[in-house]
With several copies, the nearest count.
Chain A
Amino acid sequence: MKLIARYEDLDLGVEVEREGSGYRLTVGERTFHIDMVNCGPYVHSLRFDDGEQFSLIHDSVGNDHEVTLRGSKVKVEIVDPLALRRKQREDSAGEGGIVKALMPGRIVRILVEAGQEVAKGTGILILEAMKMENEIQAPAAGTIEEIFVKPGDTVEGGAPLVHLV
């Protein structure tokens, strides 16, 4: 199976195949023979064929994987190439103009109006969560096309707040 691994700003081609009781992986130019054992719902033991062993904690939400090993946390996105192409099309279609809530919370105040032009960094609204007021700022200059929330609304993380064009 061919996959793409995104780490930091790198896109790496990854190929995974079963090989005996283990796996054969090609990551970029390099090939590994790997033996991996599930040690519980989050803990895994991975061993390279030279015997080097890593105990790791793995958690994922959708394509976003978090792997903690030897005191480091590595965040990597694993996508299949078809899905990636679809996503790139969507991105270029301008879905990026939606400002989303980074966390769940309650809308305290709206600082802009529909139609208003804003500079990058302009405060758009105040979101209260965990007893803190957090100002959500415009990620880029533009015009506020639409506001999806009103003061007092409770929103989940990822909820659309305004459309900025």
Chain B
Amino acid sequence: MKVLIANRGEIAVRIIRACGELGYGTVAVYSEADRSALHVVYADQAVPIGPAPSRESYLRIDRILDAAKKTGADAIHPGYGFLAENAEFARACKDAGLIFVGPSPEAIEAMGHKTRARARMQAAGVPVVPGLIEPVKSFDEIAAFAHSAGFPIMIKAAAGGGGKGMRLVSTEAELRPAYDRTTSEAASFFGDPEVYAEKFIEAPRHIEVQILGDQHGNIIHLGERECTLQRRHQKVVEECPSPVVDEELRAQLGAMAVRAAAAVGYYSAGTVECLMGADKKFYFLEMNTRLQVEHPVTEMVWGIDLVKAQLLIARGGTLPWTQGDVKPSGHAIECRIYAEDPMRKFAPSPGLIRYINLPQGPGVRNENGVYSGYTVPVFYDPMLSKLVCHGSTRDAAIARMKRALTEYRVEGIETTIPFFTVIMHNADFRAGRFDTGFIDRLLPLLDISRPPADDRRVEAAISAAAILAFEESQRVQLPDDGDSAWRRAGRLEAMRGPL
């Protein structure tokens, strides 16, 4: 068995690891900007599939299938993003005689079109978010909806998902620019400019349920994840279980998710996303027909390897567990480590990672996508790695995360690590009191405070910097020291061409 991974970054590495443990061969595909990426380093084989822009590489179905044919791969795992929820791709894999590690093209289609999915779920008796409408053909339609439903509304790309391609609109004035930008991003990122709108539910929690189904009709759920902490509609911290879900509510959420999945004949791993109000009423939002970024928190608590389960299911295997066999244990939290500068409005911070020190020790899991000496390209997501910590209780998991963040060091680029330290120390977060607006309300208070100049740490830091500057000045000036011309040339090379 040989598996081609049609993805990059930490998720490609995650899948390569699972395949390696199962004794399966692995094939990485990579754009020219990704020659030095970790997934290329770790795969058994690697095939170039085009220039840096995703449109010309990671989204090119023809080139990926060519790579599979050339290397004799038996299966393709799409990861998340890129082609993971593209039914045409899933179908093209099947047509080429390859196993697609995911659900059927029909299930992807059924859930992919968010508005049609909602109708189908409603028919299956699954509660849905109020206010959903069909995708619009023009700005006028969206304006009409906004006027009838009243602000705030959300504009979302019909083909979007995972927090991409959606915008909150609170006032009339913002409507036109938001529509234009969402449409443009939808066309650029998903190849489909269609957008729709829905009424925005205030102060909700974002809860999602993990399901696992096989091709023989067995479906189980693996409880919920708490994904309420978001910035720009992107999740930043996820946990399992949710601090506000008890065993009874978990059973209700699970039953709803299994019903939703069964309604579309779902198999493989999948996630049913819900909004939950303060009254703990929950509404189906969408189903992600793929592995989720935050799947490790579920794995650590439920003791099941979701990627290995996907591979088993894709090969036609039967789920080895019934609902009664699986039980959660302890608590897990994930922080997404981004190449963004929290002190400069989260501006992207690509570039050379000069030094990295990953946290280690008990209960710490690094889903890493980068390494010391690697240059983070500008073409893709700013997510570098994920840090996941497990503890016997939520408090223990938070304490472990705080400890791990202290060990985590990245030099050369800025990352969101200090921002997570602030969150882990926040009293409301520690008490489990938050909604999806938490991060935005926290941002103005974000004072990653610096010690005063007479603090011994500052004296030590200034002394060290002065000594090293002094030592540097004593050295002969070398023509080719440090960042070599050769390496600089390689970096400019990677920057060339359209994004």
Contacts and interface: CB of A to CB of B under 8 A. Distances in A.
Q: In the complex, is A directly touching B at CB under 8 Å?
A: yes
Contacts of A132: 348, 382
B35 interface: yes
Interface in A25-39: 25, 27, 30, 32, 34, 36-39
A103 B44 CA distance: 34
Interface stretch (B107-115, B152-160, B298-306, B404-412): B404-412
* Chain A interface size range: 35 or more
Majority secondary structure, A binding face: strand
Interface residues of B, number: 67
A47 B412 CA distance: 25
A60 B465 contact: yes
A78 B380 contact: no
A154 B490 contact: no
A80 B44 CA distance: 33
Contacts of B378: 103-106, 129-130
Interface in B434-491: 450-451, 453, 456-470, 473, 486-487, 490
Given A38-B490, A46-B460, A154-B499, A104 B350 contact: yes
Nearest to A3: B466
Interface in B44-90: 44-48
B44 A70 contact: yes
Contacts of A16: 466-467, 470
A51 B470 CA distance: 23
B464 A3 contact: no
A45 B347 contact: no
Interface in B3-58: 35-36, 40-42, 44-48
Interface stretch (B96-104, B263-271, B273-281, B366-374): B366-374
Interface of B: 35-36, 40-42, 44-48, 181, 185, 189, 339-340, 344, 347-351, 354-355, 357, 371-375, 378-382, 406, 409, 411-412, 418, 450-451, 453, 456-470, 473, 486-487, 490, 492, 495-499
10 contacts: A5-B465, A12-B453, A23-B463, A36-B467, A55-B40, A55-B41, A59-B354, A103-B378, A104-B495, A132-B382
Interface of A: 1, 3, 5, 7-8, 10, 12, 14, 16, 23, 25, 27, 30, 32, 34, 36-48, 51-60, 63, 65-74, 76, 78, 80, 102-106, 128-134, 152, 154, 156-157
